[in-house]
Structure 1
Amino acid sequence: MNVETGKLEPGAARHPAESTQEIIARDRNAAPAWARDESYRYLGSEDVSKERYTSADFAKGEFDRLWPRTWQMACREDHIPEIGDYYVYDIGPYSFIVVRSDEDEIKAHYNACLHRGTKLKPSASEGYSPSIKCPFHGWSWNLDGSLAEIPENWDFAHLDDRKMCLPQARVERLGGFVWVNMDPQAPSLADYLGETALSHLKAWKLEDRYIYLHVQKSYPANWKLTMEAFMEAYHVGDTHPQVAPANGDVNSQYDVYDAHVDRFISTLGVVSPKLRDRYSEADIIENFTLGDSSALGGSRPELKEGERARQVMADMFRAMFERASDTDLSHVSDTELLDTYSYTFFPNLFLFPGISLPMIYRFRPDARDHRRTIYEVMFMRPKPRSGSFETAPVQVLEDRQSFAEAEGMDPGFGRILDQDTDNLFAQQEGLEASAKSGITLANYQEIRIRHFEMTVDSYMAGAPFSAKLEDLQR
């Protein structure tokens, strides 16, 4: 606080209710170290220009300067478990065939024939192939990218076979994910993420989970605008009023780590601080067990005198998830069972490492329209002890469809996703029509958006790589 004015310094304001850390500190099963840290930093209060969301030239600049230099999650290792399995990752105009070329080797080949440019594998496809063959004239390559055959080779005596290997992006594996980067001079994935984020990701052991539901939908809004709809809990009261009685929305915690990673923690099993004069501990249980939005399948635990709803919910979740996954969760903290941990891994990945809602969000710009985004939601669960599981194929929804229509989707959560995205068309059109040159952000609750856009600006300016947060502020 400024002693002379008596006012809080910019970025110092917090909701006066108890903090996220105070809430989870009262849990019976203590939180792990990665959940207990706090890493907020004030990054300024200036408006963020609207041009980045509305300009086709800005989007072209991103394809030239941002996407080719960043580490991106292309697929899970489980998508390509056997030699010859491949998965096509498309990002804007770029496309890669991610293939298991040997038992412990994965390659990411540019998805274009070196003869006349035909795509070697269809966009968004996956499958098995013993080699990579062009469907146009039959040129083929081995899985490692070396040239295998040119039909009528006598007519190509001018070619050097060694120079006709398929070009490759860089590949690294971490947390069960396959990451790609087009820049041969890019830093390692570890340096890109930074020590703190790397330690968190390793602690989650996401390699021990698999994707059991994968849903994709396209939206009429810029990719950054779509991502930012999920970066804060400030919107919960008006966008998701049905969950507010059991969600600590406005006292959520926001953290920024290095240049490419940030997060928020939003607690469940507590009443929103804005509604505490209207809802009791019993109402929290009621909210969790109401209708088709129930997280507990319709069962309702008894709340005894003096008990906290949050603890009762944690115990109930633990028992439910142990039955569903045949996994011992006695060592797992209450906060991992209940709370939403949302991490952004720049440029386009969200990871939710909790037990109750372990998810992956991925956002990709439409190469043909800077006002459209491809949004994917992937749900994970622990790999069974038997070792037998099947990675879910993607379900692609039409624009008119609700997420609740996806096979296997919890209807209540599907409608929450619909609520998150229903505002996007109006927001994109509003920015196009606005006389204001930028958007205004909260210093704390919307810090992830500011942090994200500062990193965008760094790449757009062609700045040399740095994972340090300080370098974004220069």
Structure 2
Amino acid sequence: MSNTDNKTLKAAGLARASGPTIADTLQADGNPPPAPLLESHYEFLGDNDIPTSRYTSAEFEQQEMQKLWPKAWQWACREEHIPDAGDSYVYDIGNYSIIIVRVDEHTINAYLNSCTHRGTRLLAEEGSNYSPGFSCPFHGWSWQVDGTLNPLPGQWDFPHVANGSHNLQAVKCEQWGGFVFFNIDPEAKPLADYLDVLPEHFSHFPLDRRRIKVHVQKILPANWKAAQEAFMEAYHNFETHDSPTGANAQYDIFGKYVSRFIHNIGNYSPQSLSDYPGDKWREPPLTEQQLLEMLAIEDRVLAEGETARSVAAQTMRDTMSSSLGVDLSTCSDSIMLDSIEYHLFPNMFFFPGIAIPMVYRFRPMGNDVDHCIFDMMILEPLAEGASHPEPPEPIKLSVEQSYTEAEALGWLGSIYDEDTGNLQLQQQGFKTTRKGLTLGNYQEARIRRVHLTLEEFLGSH
């Protein structure tokens, strides 16, 4: 804590923007949301600055590599990446490489991607593979997909290799929401302990009935934490996106591992904008018709009493129900429209929405503290009764490339360019400043929660 009086700190954490809250908006919707979206869980977590060395120090990055990534649950792939026995997926995180393999219809295993003879990496490239087993390219040692070692070349010289002593090195592996997770730590707590409220909340919008429509993988010029933090608050909307929305976003802290924001789409609060300089969005206030046009619905004239939010939600229900073959008639306005983002420590984001149906993952790029890999997938609702199609290969973009080069993203490409366009400047600024990062008590509380949990990993594991 800082030197500020503790009572004052708690009071500061209760401050909010003026105008209607997210709860006010959701309760006014014609199609009300499921109960989890009406919950509010805020916790004041302090107001100390975050040291910039956490983003720039090679020593700090090495601590993460030793104490965070081998200890935290992470998703490696989707189940549809490995639909049949023998299908495997290689996932790399910093120094570590993991093989996920489907052994049979009901069993998925995970192994360290390393030969138990002299350590050679078994599968060279990240991504999908198929093989009835695994073979080392150096000396030809080989294993079944269940990890058991086959008879050795020159078996006579290895009497000490017997009774399962050199099977592939197993890694904890569990599934949730159609994702395959792993944890390298043999003593790791079950995934359920990590997921906290996610299984209950996402029971209302199951992710296992989604398919990967688009997968874009881009190198970003910033530390993985800085990159993901750009997506953890809506405070940047006014400047970065030149948008009047975001002031009244709701931020929830469910525990050490899970947090959330809810950001309404299709309305805004002129009152809340009084908390921000400039009159661009306040004088005169936007009309409902103008708000509808901002949502790219320009051929519909609102009748008296209609709102842009309700009409946009219904328009989307009609359009997407038809195009996807999914019944969305009972889907709430909020799930149809809003940006609802859950974060799972350390680096995973899950969106339950229909218009904004992404998942994100941020990870170090090898041992390069100044760059990271950002995986973004759009998970589209799967038609009722349909099987998961083969997932698309990731569209890979370099640091220099624009998201607009991934044509499958459509209008989202320019938005992601805006979201990530400040990262190089921020990473450079980290190395110049004499002070740490100052966080808002409410709007940036999710960022602070990540750092507090990170401290626990680095200090106690």
1:404 aligned residue: 404
Question: Which one of the candidate residues 43, 46, 63 is aligned to 2:45?
Answer: 43
Contact kept? 1:234, 1:445, Cα under 8 Å: yes
CA contact (8 A) 1:193 1:258 kept: no
Which residue among 26, 29, 39 is the counterpart of 2:31? 29
Partner of 2:294: 287
Equivalent position amino acid for 1:399 in 2: V
Deviations 1:116-168 (A, max 9, x none): 22111123131211101112222110001000132232232332251010111
Task: Say yes or no: does 1:425 pair with 2:431.
Answer: no
Per the TM alignment, residue 377 of structure 1 is displaced from its structure 2 partner at its CA by 0.5
Q: Which amino acid aligns with 2:453?
A: T
Q: Tell me the residue number matched to 2:113.
A: 111
TM-superposed deviation, 1:386: 5.1
Equivalent position amino acid for 2:263 in 1? S
AA aligned opposite 2:236:
H
Amino acid at match of 1:81: P
1:58 aligns with 2:64: no
Give 1:288-437 correspondences, 5 Å limit.
288-289=295-296, 300-385=299-384, 387-388=386-387, 389-410=389-410, 412-436=411-435
Pairwise CA distance, 1:458: 1.0
CA 1:407–1:140 in 2, change beyond 3 Å: closer, same or farther?
A: farther
Superposition map of 1:83-232 within 5 A = 83-194=85-196, 196-232=197-233
**Mapped partners of 2:305, 2:69: distance in 1:** 53
Letter of the 1:392 counterpart? P
Q: Distance between the aligned counterparts of 1:381 and 1:128, measured in 2?
A: 26
Q: Deviations over 1:384-436 (max 9, x none)?
A: 235242311111112221111114111x2111111111101100110111111
Equivalence for 2:262: 265
- Structure 1, unaligned runs of 5 or more: 290-295, 464-474
Question: What does residue 471 of structure 1 align with?
Answer: none
SS at match of 1:387: coil
Which whole-Å CA distance do the structure 2 matches of 1:181 and 1:30 have between them?
Answer: 38
Counterpart residue type for residue 390 of structure 2: E
* CA deviation map 1:313-356 (0-9, x unaligned): 11111111101211111111110001000111001100111111
Verify the 8 A CA contact 2:61 2:367 in the aligned structure 1.
Answer: no
Amino acid at match of 2:183: N
The one-character-per-residue Cα deviations of 1:224-271 (angstroms, maximum 9, x if unpaired) are: 011100000000010001xx25xx311000000010000100000003
Q: Calculate the TM-score normalised by the size of structure 1.
A: 0.91
Q: What SS does the corresponding residue of 2:15 show, helix, strand or coil?
A: coil
Gap change, CA 1:34 and 1:153, over 3 Å in 2: same
Using the alignment, how far apart are the partners of 1:67 and 1:272 within structure 2?
41
The answer on whether the counterparts of 1:147 and 1:164 sit within 8 Å (CA) in structure 2 is yes
Structure 1 distance, partners of 2:97, 2:8, is 56
Shift in CA distance, 206/6, structure 1 to aligned 2, threshold 3 Å: closer
Q: Can you list the C-alpha shifts for 1:65-116, whole angstroms capped at 9, x where unaligned?
A: 1111111111111110100000101111011110001111011110011122
Give the whole-Å Cα distance in 2 for the aligned partners of 1:272 and 1:387. Answer: 41
Cα distance, 1:9 vs. partner?
1.3
Change over 3 Å in CA distance of 1:272–1:417 after alignment to 2: farther
2:20–2:269 Cα contact (<8 Å) kept = no
| Cα distance change, pair 407–115 in 1 and its aligned pair in 2 (3 A) | farther
Tell me the secondary structure at the aligned position of residue 122 of structure 2: coil
- 2:460 is aligned to 462
Write the letter of the residue equivalent to 1:260.
Y
Give the C-alpha shift of residue 210 in structure 1.
1.2
Which contiguous aligned blocks of 4+ residues in structure 1 show a shift greater than 6 angstroms?
5-8
| Count of residue pairs brought into register by the alignment | 444
Tell me, in whole angstroms, the C-alpha distance in 2 between the residues paired with 1:383 and 1:193.
23
Retained in 1: the 8 A contact 2:19–2:269?
A: no
- What TM-score, normalized to structure 2? 0.93
Matched position secondary structure for 1:311:
helix
Are the equivalent residues in 2 in contact too, given 1:90–1:123 (CA < 8 A)? Answer: no
